[in-house]
Structure 1
């Protein structure tokens, strides 16, 4: 059986955003108070401005961490574990109710499409006191897949 060759495709921002928009699962990595990483599995979307958006609650560790230090990374994963992935580093902001409601509408559209009742959705976001994390990409690694180095793939 032939061995799969690892890939690492360097891309510009438009191709990165296309890759991210085709997925919605990832790990958001923030920094704990002691500097150690905090990884949170998330569902994410990409808004019209090209920012990665994550719906969350103000009590979550990722939010507490981002209020203290706004640098964050997202590892965007494929649904297939062996599929392509990318790490995106950037600056994050946390938006709380009431300012989070309209950005949460954009988040929902990016992840799931149209909601059958936007008024009901907006009210639920207020009642649940939802927050939104927006990560502006500043740098990113190649879109990569695992496998063997070419010299070992015969």
Structure 2
């Protein structure tokens, strides 16, 4: 499977598990809501001090597994991440990008965008995009 073959699946299946590397070499995994944003697998972390973000700031390599609701089909993306947050990004640009990332990781628009914007600022949200280096999975 190549990345282009995986894109339709990644665009419509938003449940995932991301695995990062701890400094001691062990793996940390957590569930995420994911999608394709700006042509890259993406998820938003609402806690910049979460273990996955701490790990990715030290080692940008990760693995994302995107699955169907019944766990019968999946795509695995291995790669390196780039991150965007309010600390390094213009506030209005970040607001727009977070909304766009939300829509790429969801099947429905947010019911209250103003509330969403305020929560993303308060929680210091981070957009995490993965540059794929390896793609594999099972699509039936």
Query: Rg bigger for which structure?
Result: 1
Report runs of 4+ in structure 1 exceeding 3 Å deviation: 115-120
Q: Distance in 2 between matches of 1:29 and 1:63?
A: 11
Structure 2 unaligned segments of length 5 or more: list them: none
More strand by percentage: 2
Structure 1 unaligned spans of 5+: 1-9, 146-154
Q: Would you say how many aligned residue pairs link Structure 1 and Structure 2?
A: 133
Could you tell me how far 1:118 is from its partner in structure 2? Answer: 3.4
Matched, 1:87 2:76: yes
1:127-142 equivalent positions in 2, closer than 5 A: 127-142=122-137
- Contact 2:14 2:66 (8 Å CA) reproduced: yes
Match of residue 102, structure 1, among 86, 91, 96: 96
Q: Aligned Cα RMSD in Å?
A: 1.9
CA distance in 2, matches of 1:78, 1:114: 20
TM-score, structure 1 normalization: 0.77
Q: TM-score when scaled to structure 2?
A: 0.84
CA contact (8 A) 1:63 1:94 kept: no
**What corresponds to 1:77 in structure 2?**
67
Match of 2:48 among 58, 74, 92: 58
